[in-house]
Amino acid sequence: MPSKNMLASHFGQVKDPRVERTKLHLLIDILTIAICAVICGADDWVAVAAFGRAKRSWFKTFLALPNGIPAHDTFGRVFARLDPVEFQQAFLSWIQAISHLTQNEIVAIEGKQVHRSHDRALGKEAIRMVSAWVATNRLVLGQVKTDDNSNEITAIPELLRVLDLHGCIVTIDAMGCQTNIAATIVDQGSDYVLAVKENQGRLYQDLHDLFREAKEADFRDTQHAQDRTVDKDHGRLEIRQCWTIGDPDFLDYVQDRYAWKNLRTLVMIESERRVGRKTSRETRYFIASIENDAALALYAARTHWSIENELHWVLDIAFHEDDCRVRKDHGPQKWSTRF
């Protein structure tokens, strides 16, 4: 469990939104109980308050609790009014203090909509949170909410700029395959592996044509690398083959190559999935700033999807995030801040 001293050092600067006469409970007590409760599986403010009451004797060993455990309405009102930027900064400070990233750590970035956070009566759309997920540590490094009438393309650079990702490899799906996002990643001292799909038009076609010609020539006279993995589990067989090209002459055939900062490697992954008598195949393309290393590129592409399987799926199934009805003021954004 997080220590009170550590939480106080990081969340102590968050301003209390309440007027003096309503401060029956200390803000740090409210924040500490809520964080511990969510870690242990609480999925709404009623559950947070119930957790606090169940663990009151333990909380009393390091919290003041001048008026006992706050009611669920108190948790809801306080979190709804907390400044989201201050809370996010405190949260990022705390997470970065308790985490350690190693060289070539994969940091997957992707957005998720909190479906039940909408309020049709007020014309409020459901919020969308963009998360940075470290698969090795199973940890969310940080999150930002997309602005109203905006999307992930504008939120991703904002998230990247507040994280220390030096030496890491950032993976993003096709939504984040943008020249400014690639530049932001490189400027942060990181590398990128960005998915390229048909909506990228000319870039996708360039990669498709280059790899088709290279394969037809069996990659002769082409600086390339190759890797292959085979996984078998629960009656399912998955074969993945990856080719990477770092040949400068080939890279020059990519139109607008120099618009992509530090573009060094082109990636193609062919996947074959066999389940019983059914076989499906898929070909995916990526651009990357990493060295010409097929094993690393394949690992990065596969690891990216842990954000879906180990974060988003858990939020929906274990935490019932899409059923959560927290919707007042800034409450949904704070509630959706996960670690």
Looking at the structure, do residues 220 and 262 belong to the same domain, yes or no? yes
Structure tokens at 136: 């090795």
Backbone dihedral angles phi then psi of residue 272, each to the nearest 5 degrees:
-125, 130
Looking at the structure, do residues 198 and 293 belong to the same domain, yes or no? yes
Report the percentage of the chain scoring pLDDT > 90: 46
Position 243 pLDDT exceeds 60: yes
Q: For 287-308, write each residue's pLDDT tens digit.
A: 999 999 999 999 999 999 888 8
Q: What is the mean pLDDT of the chain?
A: 84
Range with the lowest mean pLDDT among 91-100, 191-200, 263-272?
Answer: 91-100
Looking at the structure, do residues 194 and 300 belong to the same domain, yes or no? yes
pTM: 0.70
At 178 the pLDDT is 94
Residue the block writes with tokens 């507040």: 162
Asked if residue 181 is part of any domain, the answer here is no
**Contacts of residue 114, Cβ cutoff 8 Å, sequence gap at least 6:** 126, 127, 128, 129, 321, 322, 324, 332, 336
Please state, in angstroms and rounded to a whole number, the distance separating the CA atoms of residues 252 and 62. Answer: 62
Please state, in angstroms and rounded to a whole number, the distance separating the CA atoms of residues 175 and 112. Answer: 13
Q: Residue 80's pLDDT band (boundaries 50, 70, 90)?
A: confident
Backbone dihedral angles phi then psi of residue 197, each to the nearest 5 degrees:
-125, 180
Provide the 3-class DSSP secondary structure of residue 113.
Answer: strand
At 140 the pLDDT is 82
Task: Report which residue type is found at 15.
Answer: K
Q: Residue 118's pLDDT band (boundaries 50, 70, 90)?
A: very low
Position 120 pLDDT exceeds 70: no
Looking at the structure, do residues 90 and 29 belong to the same domain, yes or no? no
Strand 265-275 vs strand 236-245: parallel, antiparallel, or unpaired?
Answer: antiparallel
Looking at the structure, do residues 209 and 300 belong to the same domain, yes or no? yes
At 305 the pLDDT is 85
Position 339 pLDDT exceeds 50: no
Looking at the structure, do residues 52 and 74 belong to the same domain, yes or no? yes
- Asked if residues 281 and 270 have their Cβ atoms less than 8 Å apart, the reply is yes
Task: Report which residue type is found at 163.
Answer: L
Domain range for 52 is 1-82
Asked if residue 130 is part of any domain, the answer here is yes
